[in-house]
Chain A
Amino acid sequence: MKLIFEKSTIGRGSELLPECDVPVTQANSKFLRRKDLKLPEVSETEISRHYTELMKRTFGINDGFYPLGSCTMKYNPKINEETAKLFGFTEIHPLQPIFTVQGCLEVMKLTQECLCEITGMDAMDFQPAAGAHGEFTGLKLIWAYHQDRKDTKRNKIIVPDSAHGTNPASAAMAGFSVINIPSTQEGYVDTEELRKVVGDDTAGFMLTNPNTIGMFDENILEITKIIHDAGGLNYYDGANLNAIMGIARPGDMGFDVVHLNLHKTFSTPHGGGGPGSGPIGCKELLMKYLPSPRIVEKNGILEFAAKPEESIGRVKAFYGNFLVVVKALTYILTLGGEGLKEASENAVLNANYMMHSLKDTFDIPFSGHCMHEFVISLEELKKEKGVSALDFAKTLLDYGMHPPTMYFPLIVHEALMVEPTETEAKETLDEAVKVYKQIWTQASTEPEALHLSPTKTVIGRPDEVAAARTPILRFHFSQTTN
């Protein structure tokens, strides 16, 4: 498909702005740009058609089953989009006087209260713009806590080898060194290993629970106690919260700080990679270190309290991805407490139903009921037939289904991680199961075909090695275009 630049014709474009109605000011020539600015010169029709073409080459949540493990691709309700487009939210300058933004503050305060109740935390801060940003911020709180207590040798964050890559990356970015600990055969935290590595240099421990293989760690209270006894703090990665809303709370499991992904659990969409929102919640002992001031009510007016001196400082300008918070609040108000629990129950039911239907055919390396997601290993298939998780995933594309997350967690070979979410109907799951089994059979009879898949998509497999070896990262205008 052509790039917009290749559709450009000199002289085309729309008149969008009026003539200047005041004397024109010209900048001193030493400030003027010399380099010609090349932007597309296209009519509105061309722009519209261009993006419609791009839209057709994009797989959204409504194009089909989207069971990307760890990403919680649930349906994105339309009302969320509508409320976030209300003028009373979109046209508000972030530096307006406080009495003119009472609605925004109320949105944030209400959402904070709801999320605190859902997670069992005492405070919530919306400044982080995404999950990884929340991790960084939460780890900074842990850092500030130890500094404040003059316990400055605590510079290590412990992370299980099954963790999301962002966990160790965030820890390093926050100035910690990272200790990776192996998981047990069953994929749980190895409490013996954990005991061995904790000490007076332990700053904290990061965990998702349910973990990245979709299992709830039964030893959670023991785990968090080991860390607390060693003087460290527990960090909860909220990527998998969709399994346990209204059923269990990180705050009750011994976690001191959490981040949530509003763009996963609370149905605000992913936008092709963002904007998300990664608020952090914490227990009272960490509250004074939060980046934002608290919202308090004084004589019926909401305002920002003075920021404590101990605050780690801002991690972003203004108040975070506010409109994403509006969408999350819309969702919470729609579902209510009972509805959130029902969502989690059904997320877990759907995952178990699908796992159950696949387990006779596929190798599912962990036993017991899963939570909201489960992991398949294609290691045997790879060995016997040469069909990899990648081949399997790419073949799914030809069936109009988004593949599961591939090659994660790293502790499972040829992993496919399936998270159906609660918003899929039984027949969608049945259909997916049928297709998965069909591909399994095909892998035995004609493995070659799977190496060549997909064939029905607009492009075939791209050459990623060439892309990295000889990077082409922008379009270069030649003399003939534009």
Chain B
Amino acid sequence: MGTYVPNTKQEQQEMLQTIGVKSMKELFRAIPEEVYLERPLKLLQGLPELSVRKRLSELAGKNQVFHNIFRGAGAYNHYIPSIVKQITSKEEFVTAYTPYQAEISQGILQSIFEYQTMICELTGMDVSNASVYDGATAAAEAVIMCKERKKYKAIISETVHPQIIETIKTYCSGTDTEVIIAPAKDGVTDLDILEQLIDAETACILLQQPNYYGQLEDGDSAGRLAAEHDVRFILSCNPISLGLLKTPVEYGADIAVGEGQPLGIPLSFGGPYLGFMATTEKYMRRLPGRIVGETLDNRGQRAFVLTLQAREQHIRREKASSNICSNQALCAMTAAVYLDAMGRKGLAQAAELSMSKAHYLADKLCELEGFELVYPGEFFNEFVTTCPGSVDKLLSALEQRGILGGYPLSGKEEGHILWCATEMNTKEEIDTLINVIKEVAGK
């Protein structure tokens, strides 16, 4: 057992004497007797480091690590360049606090400034914040950002990731923002119905590109529609796809958000991930969260600082644009190092490889009896198929071979599978997957 307390018992005693008290307990005199915990906490005894390490290794060992992953649905298995993990393990970055003292925090501040620049480049936007918790909370914050006094309705497409929709609903419940779900048709947003849903009270529409089913939405029409009706257009997007596909700004979006996990962050059982948020100059001062800006110091040198703080909770308290304080700074740095390492070509290559592998997988699957694409539109690296027979049986047969198959959809889509491929899946692995499925289907 260790407590990381450097002072010895004797030093502690000396310090107590200096203060003029006899025991530790005396320091806690202000705690009323009824509340003072006389018994020890019912926790295990502290363990030596070796034993703790063994215990945690055992726990990790109870999980199954899949080496072939064909599942996405909001968390994507992409290659992480070695340099990414090395740089983001540097203890100065790992252990620093939020960069309140700019003079000794230029490293963190500059890395965030570089991250903001790259998010702007990816999305085509003018301004990015320093990150929020994840893609779902980024979408929720964006919806809140759009609310105006007389415009309080947010229309969210049914094709957005269900966990994002749920998060938006939680954020909006009990406030005066009303969430309306626009239905899907053939796996994409039904823009005709969406248009009918827009009225004078509508503040924003929110779509996802590619959407939950992997389908590419008609972003151009959605953008036109938003502009015609003067509502804000929020687009949640996959950052890897932006190496190849249209930027939110090119679709006419006002706010771009998304899950930054694909940019060098491991799957990690769902977190920590990275929520990115960017907008046009017009909405800059409504953006929640930390923002880093460039300025000069009193010696005339370039300097970076947290800026536009008049939006934030520590200044504005209940009138702040958001309550966010800690964000995902180290994950933002991870994304920045990933983008440095990949570069424009590398990112485009990751996008192209993901898209090509997914199409190869789809082609091969659809050659099998009973597998068909459920939706007719174009897709990026995810798609939905039917499945002959039991989905569970098929997936567990794959799991026994160390393959994590597609994600079994539920509810209205029960019986369908959402597949995903990335640059991590080789042709050989895809062929093996197909062969295993053939074996199972043959039985």
Q: For A178, list chain B residues within 8 Å (CB).
A: 317-318
B95 and A60 within 8 A (CB): yes
Q: Given A312-B170, A394-B103, A473-B128, verify A33-B290 contact (CB < 8 Å).
A: no
Contact (A318, B56) CB under 8 Å given A100-B399, A220-B35, A425-B6 = no
- A462 adjacent to B295 (CB under 8 Å): yes
Q: Which of A143-161 contact B (CB under 8 A)?
A: 143, 147
- Residues of A in contact (CB 8 Å), total 199
Chain B positions 110-167 with a Cβ under 8 Å from a chain A Cβ: 110-111, 113-114, 116-118, 120-122, 124, 126-128, 130-131, 133-137, 144, 161, 163-164, 166-167
Cβ of B181 within 8 Å of any chain A Cβ, yes or no, is no
A and B contact pairs by CB, cutoff 8 A, 11 listed: A13-B343, A24-B356, A34-B246, A40-B340, A54-B93, A62-B91, A76-B95, A130-B133, A269-B95, A271-B95, A350-B7
Do A318 and B297 touch (CB < 8 A)?
A: no
Q: Are A47 and B4 in contact (CB under 8 A)?
A: no
Given contacts A22-B427, A319-B270, A473-B128, contact A35 B247 (CB under 8 A): yes
Taking a contact as CB atoms closer than 8 A, the residue among B98, B124, B271, B344 that contacts A270 in the complex is B98
Which chain B residue lies CB-closest to A3?
Answer: B114
Q: Does B75 contact A (CB under 8 A)?
A: yes
Interface string of A59-75 (1 = CB under 8 A from B): 11111001010010111
Q: Which of A22, A136, A166, A313 has the most CB of B within 10 A?
A: A22
- Chain B residues whose CB sits within 8 angstroms of the CB of A130 once the complex forms: 133, 324-327
Is the C-beta of A418 less than 8 angstroms from some C-beta in chain B? no
User: Residue among B44, B95, B295 with the most chain A CB within 10 A?
Assistant: B95
Contact B65–A92 (Cβ < 8 Å) = yes
CA distance A23 to B359 in the complex (A): 9
Q: Other than the known A102-B63, A275-B271, A426-B14, what 20 A-B pairs have Cβ atoms closer than 8 Å? A: A22-B359, A27-B245, A54-B107, A59-B101, A92-B267, A106-B59, A117-B41, A131-B325, A143-B173, A168-B318, A270-B95, A316-B271, A320-B271, A342-B5, A346-B12, A356-B20, A425-B6, A459-B102, A462-B304, A466-B295
| Cα-based distance from A94 to B136 in the complex (angstroms) | 15
* A467 close to B295 (CB less than 8 A): yes
Segment 293-325 of B: residues with Cβ below 8 Å from A: 293-299, 301-305, 307-310, 312-320, 322-325
Interface centre among A31, A244, A468 (most CB of B within 10 A): A31
Asked whether, in the complex, the Cβ of A272 is within 8 Å of the Cβ of B61, the reply is no
CB contact between A32 and one of B62, B120, B174, B244 (< 8 Å): that residue = B244
Q: Mark A37-57, 1 if CB is under 8 A from B, else 0.
A: 111111010011011111111
CB-CB under 8 A for A356 and B19, given A166-B313, A248-B36, A322-B268: yes
Known: A270-B326, A273-B327, A337-B44. A25 touches B356 (CB 8 A): yes
Expressed in whole angstroms, the minimum distance between the Cβ of B400 and any Cβ of chain A is: 11
Q: Are A462 and B19 in contact, CB atoms less than 8 angstroms apart?
A: no
Chain B, 30-52, CB within 8 A of any chain A CB: 30-32, 34-37, 40-47, 49, 52
Name the CB-closest residue of B to A457.
B103
Stretch at the interface among A79-87, A280-288, A436-444: A79-87
Quote the shortest CB–CB distance from A470 to chain B (angstroms).
9
Segment of B187-195, B328-336, B433-441 in the binding face:
B328-336
Q: A59-B105, A169-B316, A274-B330 are in contact. Are A467 and B121 (CB under 8 A)?
A: no
Q: Is A349 an interface residue when CB atoms closer than 8 A count as contact?
A: yes
A466 contacts B101, CB within 8 Å?
A: no
Contact status A457-B326, CB under 8 Å: no
Q: How far is the CA of A81 from the CA of B352 in the complex (A)?
A: 34
Docked pose: A61 CA to B316 CA in angstroms: 29
Closest chain B residue to A423, Cβ basis: B4
- Is A475 a contact of B28 with CB atoms below 8 Å? no
**Min CB gap B80→A, angstroms:** 10
Cα–Cα distance between A330 and B48 once the two chains are bound (Å): 11
Q: Which residues of B, 3-29, contact A by the 8 Å Cβ criterion?
A: 3-7, 11-12, 14-16, 18-21, 24, 26-29
Question: Residue A352 at the B interface, CB < 8 A?
Answer: yes
Contact of B270 among A94, A267, A353 (CB under 8 A): A94
Among the listed B27, B107, B126, which residue makes an inter-chain contact with A58, where contact means beta carbons less than 8 Å apart?
B107
B378 at interface (Cβ–Cβ under 8 A)?
yes
In the complex, whether B346 has a CB less than 8 A from a CB of chain A is yes
**Residue contact B94 to A269, C-beta cutoff 8 Å:** yes
A335→B3 contact, CB < 8 A: yes
Q: Interface code A419-444, partner B: CB below 8 Å = 1, 0 otherwise?
A: 00011111000000000000000000
Give the chain A neighbours of B326 by CB distance below 8 A: 129-132, 263, 270, 273-276, 278
Residue of B3, B42, B310, B358 with most chain A CB atoms under a 10 A cut-off: B3
Our pick among B31, B59, B163, B345 for the contact of A13 (Cβ within 8 Å) is: B345
The answer to whether B356 touches A114, judged by C-beta atoms less than 8 angstroms apart, is no
